[in-house]
Amino acid sequence: MTEPADKRATYDDLLNIPENMTGEIVDGELIVTPRPSRKHGYVAYSLGGRLTPSYQFGEGDGPGGWIFISEPEIAFGEDILVPDVAGWKRERFPVEEDHNWISVRPDWVCEVLSPSTAKMDKTGKMPVYARFGVPHLWLIDPIAKTLDAFRLESGKWVVIGLYVQNDKVRVEPFEEVLIDLSDLWLESAQQSTE
């Protein structure tokens, strides 16, 4: 007697996870993780706060023309991934769809690494992003205080920059704006108020 094939997770499986968890489907497997830590959330919110005025609204030194969403559900074939922050060029973003997930691949994704998600972000999600042609990917580690930036070239991730701690950087696809990495670390925010 043969064993039945493993059941691939579906969107309905995501609807049944506890509210205090985040669910994704990666290579057909349901991945459930705790909600992000405060350091994790601070990085994502601070980065969005830095990019949104210039790239979403066209203020200051930015060109506008982008749409950013925090923790969107994005369909990559049968996979449903939830990057910490994702950005689409405005003309590519589907404003209305008859389901919750976004069916168009983003032009940029950012994963904020945590001890419980780093392995999946790097070995599970990065290959899916590459397979579906996401042009840019950033990995930010709030514990190590690093930003690793990648560009997709011929289906492979190429490192375009490795930055640490208090570096002040201009990173594609957002080179018009100078980002002070110290603004992303929760400890730096606490020290500036003391």
- Domain range for residue 49? 37-75+83-193
What is the model's pLDDT at position 188? 65
End-to-end Cα, the chain, rounded Å: 68
Assigned domain for 16 exists: no
CATH number at residue 171: 3.90.1570.10
Which of 100, 149, 104, 145 minimizes the C-alpha distance to 126?
Answer: 149
Q: Which two tokens stand for residue 148?
A: 């690793």
* Contact call for residues 77 and 127 (beta carbons, < 8 A): no
Q: What is the pTM of this model?
A: 0.89
In a domain, 179, yes or no: yes
Q: Which amino acid is at 56?
A: Q
Close Cβ partners of 182 (under 8 Å, ≥ 6 residues apart): 165, 166, 188
Q: Which tokens sit at 150?
A: 């990648």
User: What is the number of structural domains in the chain?
Assistant: 1
97 part of a folded domain: yes
The pLDDT, as a whole number, for residue 4 is 45
- For residue 9, being part of any structural domain is answered with no
Residue 3 counted as domain residue:
no
| 66 to 18, 54, 62, 115: CA distances (angstroms) | 32, 9, 10, 30
Classify residue 22: in a domain, yes or no: no
> pLDDT 10s per residue in the chain (194 long)?
444 456 889 888 898 898 888 898 999 999 998 887 888 889 999 999 999 999 999 887 778 999 999 999 999 999 999 999 999 999 999 999 999 999 999 999 999 999 989 999 999 999 999 999 999 999 999 999 999 999 999 999 999 999 999 999 999 999 999 999 999 998 766 555 44
Is 174 a domain residue?
A: yes
Residue 100 forms part of a structural domain: yes
Per-residue model confidence (pLDDT) at position 163 = 98
